[in-house]
Structure 1
Amino acid sequence: MAIRCRLGDIMKERGLSNKEVVNLTGVSRNTITSLAGNATKRIDYDTLEGLCRGLQVKPGDLIEYIEDDTNDNA
């Protein structure tokens, strides 16, 4: 199982650049770059709130849970 941030997908779907997301959300460019590339291990609540407000999404739209396809009982 894995948890990933969908920010990069949302940016691509909406045609948004890093700079535009920074302006919309107030989140730093480095944080946007890391989250969009899934190169981070955590996200602060303040960052999550800024992204949700600026992009008009819910936390569940930004964070995706991916279940492992392997069968542990095999």
Structure 2
Amino acid sequence: MSIRCRLGDIMQERNLSNKDVVKLTGVSRNTITSLAANATKRIDYDTLEGLCRGLNVLPGDLIEYIEDKN
């Protein structure tokens, strides 16, 4: 099992830069960069809420669960 953040995918689909997402969400640039690259091990509820409000998405749109193919 693995869990990944889809922020980078959403940004690409909407043609949004890191700077755009920072303005929309109020989340720090470093956090956006890390989440977009799927290079983080956790996400705070406040960050998740900011992303959901600013991007008009649900938590399930941002977080993807991938089952192992065993």
Report the TM-score when normalising by structure 1: 0.94
RMSD (Å) for aligned C-alpha atoms:
0.3
Q: Unaligned 5+ residue runs, structure 2?
A: none
C-alpha separation in 2, matches of 1:39 and 1:28 = 15
C-alpha separation in 1, matches of 2:9 and 2:33 = 12
What stretches of structure 1 move > 2 A for 4+ residues in a row? Answer: none
Residue of structure 2 equivalent to 1:23: 23
Q: Unaligned 5+ residue runs, structure 1?
A: none
Residue 10 of structure 1: how far off its partner (Å):
0.1
Q: Kindly, what percent of the aligned residue pairs are identical? A: 86
Residue of structure 1 equivalent to 2:11: 11
Residue 52 of structure 1: how far off its partner (Å):
0.1
Report the TM-score when normalising by structure 2: 0.99
